[in-house]
Each structure stands twice: as C-alpha cells, then as structure tokens.
Amino acid sequence: MIREELVHDGWQRCPYLPERIARLPLYRQIAPLTHEEADERFESAERRMGRTLYRVACPTCSACRGIRVHTHHVQPTRSQRRVLRRWAKLPWRVEVGAPTVTAEKLALFHAHKRLRGLNGPDEAPLGPGEYESWLVQSCMDTIEMRYSIEGRLVGLGIVDLGSTSASSVYFYFDPAPEIARLSPGVFSVFQEAEFCRRTNREWLYLGLHVEDCRHLAYKADFAPHQLRIEGEWRESAPPNLR
C-alpha cells in the first residue's frame, strides 16, 4: 500500500546556510500517520510542512542534525532558570487545543517574522489559506499551545504528537520589547517538555540544529540533548551552566 508520494526533489538554496545548496525531498502523506508512525518519523529527524514531510538529503553537507531532549532529564542552565523565574512572577496561561487560523494569530505571526528579521528578501506575507496549509492542516496528531499574559496572546507553538514523543514544529511570539525580553522561545521549550511529561511522552524533538545558523544554534542550549549524527542519536556534552 502506497503511504506517501514524492512531490518535490532537487537542488535548492539552503534555507539555513544560504551560501550552500541543499536537497530536501518532500513527501505528501496519503493517509494520516498513527502515533507510532509519527514516533518513527521523528526519530529519523523528518520535519513536517502541512500534510507533507521532508528530510535532509544533502550529499556533501552534514551541518543539519536532528536534536532531541529527554523530557525527564532536561535541566535549565543558569540563564534559562532566570527566564523561568521571570515567568513565575507573571499571570501567564497556556491553553492547549486544535490548531486554527485567526486574524489575531496571523497578525502575531507576521509581526514576529518581520521584527525578528526572519522574512526572506522576496518573501510575501502569508494569507490565511497559506498559514492553514502549513501549520493547521496536518498528516498527524497536531496541537497548538497558546501563551497569554492577562488575556493578551503573546506566543503560539505548533507541536506534533507521537505515542512516546512529540515534535516542536514552529513557535512564534510577540516581538514587543516587554515580551521579547522574557525569552518566550526558551519558556515554550520547557512548557512543551512539561506537556510531554504530563502525557507520558519521553522525547521532545526540537527539529534541526545547525551550528552556524543563528536561528537554529540556540537549540543546543537545552541539555542534556542528543544529536542525530550519521544516522545515530548520540549524547551531547553535559549542560552548559552559564
């Protein structure tokens, strides 16, 4: 039985290291994946876009490495503990539910990309349909985690679920200075890990780590972690206690 079909393959400009060329085969999933099948794809460091999955298949570069943390063992560094203490003083709330697209979420998404310098030079803003096809529509069990402070939406994370693991797909937040200084991205990882612990999920996959990409290098700050190197998951160095 055919479970997926190739929809794109070929050379393209690397989205993480623009001076390099990448190959990221993209496969549309014919049917939704079970939780067990999702675990297998996460373990292979596959990433999701809508109802498709892609994998890194660059023959001359190995800079992209899957990264995951054991949800019961991850320990905050000193700087991360400061982030958690700042949030502990606030009336924050996180709600978990099915992904949806609204004008409020779309505005927050665009503000985050624009003010954090994440837009490409020729990138047009996503419309509601494009946002839905990328982050709402899914080939697996997917949730969104909505972060608010006194009723103000300040961040939103999209998370895919397996049986024993989860995969952090995308997170965006309010780039206003009073919110950005709270390091919502750091806080969201610990909240996703806490969600995994509550639901008996052992691993949280953080996507791809690329040491020379400033938008992805920060993931190594979550430790202890494992990196997928040459097809095997290997333990990282002990946590950095800065």
Q: What is the DSSP string of 192-213?
A: HHHHHHHTT--EEEEEEE-TT-
Q: What b/e sequence results for 11-41 when a residue is b if at least 16 CB atoms lie within 10 Å of its CB, and e otherwise?
A: eeebebbeeeebbbebbebeeebeeebbbeb
221-234 pLDDT tens trace: 999 999 999 899 99
Alpha-carbon span 235 to 228, nearest angstrom: 9
| The CATH number of domain 66-235 is 3.40.630.30 | yes
Give CA separation, 23 vs 147, 169, 226, in Å.
35, 20, 23
| Residue 56 scores a pLDDT above 60 | yes
Longest dimension (CA), the chain: 53
159-178 pLDDT tens trace: 999 999 999 999 999 999 99
DSSP for residue 218: G
196-217 pLDDT tens trace: 999 999 999 999 999 888 888 8
The tokens describing 181, both together, are 């200084």
Among candidates 93, 118, 113, 99, which has minimal Cα distance to 187?
93
Residue 213's pLDDT is: 87
Stated pTM of the model: 0.93
% of residues, the chain, pLDDT over 70:
93
Q: Where are the domains of the chain?
A: 4-65, 66-235
108-118 pLDDT tens trace: 999 998 876 66
